[in-house]
């Protein structure tokens, strides 16, 4: 499968890239600087230098017959307002133009959905994110709203709480189970779920919580 990865130089994106290559997929990455990828990685991927906020860069990254997209862009306090939402809008425009089959993205558990089991722990996570992570929370909210407005395209999401570095276990829970701010998933297992969704439509148009 031809897969384009956005956010390939971050902790989650690097795992998505590694595991996608191991699974035998043909990978294209859109990065602002190819130097952020090791030479050994660059030798095994098609590397497009550009910016996800630039529609032309996104179009270039998806114009090579891409079958699916892995979206692992992260947000921090220095990120532009609505980074993920705006990049997603550019991606969806190109998905329609180039007939790309699927968009798999990583959101966050602080964005509650109607399917969630909303406990005190879940409400605290939402309160904490709204209070201390406002930029990220607003961005992911706007991204989710945009996705739900575009059900003509195939998309699937995962919503982790705390993501940490650690070995891949290969066992985790996906669903709308109870969760709290203490719910954890390793970057490697979050990537494992996302790469697995390339060939699995079980959660089509849904964004389950991922946790151990």
Total of domains in the chain: 1
Q: What digits encode the pLDDT tens for the residues 103-134?
A: 999 998 888 888 888 888 888 888 888 887 77
Dihedral over Cα of 86, 88, 91, 96: its sign: negative
Percent of the chain at pLDDT > 70 equals 100
Can you give the pLDDT at residue 76? 85
The predicted model gives 148-163 an average pLDDT of 96
Tokens of 4: 């384009």
**Which residue is it, tokens 């195939």?**
154
Q: With bands split at pLDDT 50, 70 and 90, how would you rate the model's confidence at 193?
A: very high
Q: Which of 60, 85, 67 is nearest to 20 (CA)?
A: 67
Counting residues of the chain whose pLDDT is more than 90, the rounded percentage is 80
Provide the CATH number for the domain around residue 95: 3.40.50.720
Q: What is the pTM for the complete model shown?
A: 0.94
CA quadruple 149, 27, 77, 55: dihedral positive or negative?
negative
Contacts of 88 (CB under 8 A, 6+ apart): 71, 103, 105, 143, 146, 147
Query: How far apart are the C-alpha atoms of 67 and 51, rounded to whole Å?
Result: 20
Cβ atoms of 68 and 42 within 8 Å: the answer is no
pLDDT for the residue numbered 151: 98
Parent domain of 89 = 2-211
Contacts of 174 (CB under 8 A, 6+ apart): 158, 193, 203, 208, 209, 210
- Please give the full DSSP string across 155-185, using - where no structure is assigned: EEEEEESEEE-----S--EEES----TT-EE
Q: Are 35 and 41 in contact (CB under 8 A)?
A: no
């Amino acid at each position: 499968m031809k897969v384009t990865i956005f956010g390939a130089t971050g902790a989650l994106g690097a795992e998505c890239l590694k595991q996608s290559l191991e699974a035998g997929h043909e990978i294209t990455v859109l990065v602002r600087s190819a130097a952020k990828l090791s030479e050994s990685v660059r030798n095994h991927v098609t590397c497009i230098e550009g910016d996800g906020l630039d529609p032309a860069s996104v179009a270039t990254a998806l114009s090579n017959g891409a079958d699916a997209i892995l979206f692992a862009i992260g947000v921090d306090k220095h990120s532009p307002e609505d980074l993920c939402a705006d990049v997603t809008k550019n991606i969806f425009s190109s998905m329609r133009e180039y007939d790309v089959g699927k968009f798999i993205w990583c959101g966050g558990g602080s964005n509650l959905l109607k399917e969630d089991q909303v406990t005190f722990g879940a409400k605290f996570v939402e309160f904490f994110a709204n209070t201390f992570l406002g930029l990220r929370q607003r961005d992911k909210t706007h991204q989710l709203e945009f996705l739900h407005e575009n059900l003509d395209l195939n998309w699937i999401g995962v919503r982790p709480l705390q993501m940490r570095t650690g070995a891949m276990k290969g066992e985790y829970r996906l669903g709308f189970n109870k969760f709290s701010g203490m719910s954890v998933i390793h970057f490697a297992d979050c990537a494992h779920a996302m790469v697995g969704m390339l060939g699995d439509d079980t959660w089509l148009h849904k964004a389950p919580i991922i946790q151990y």
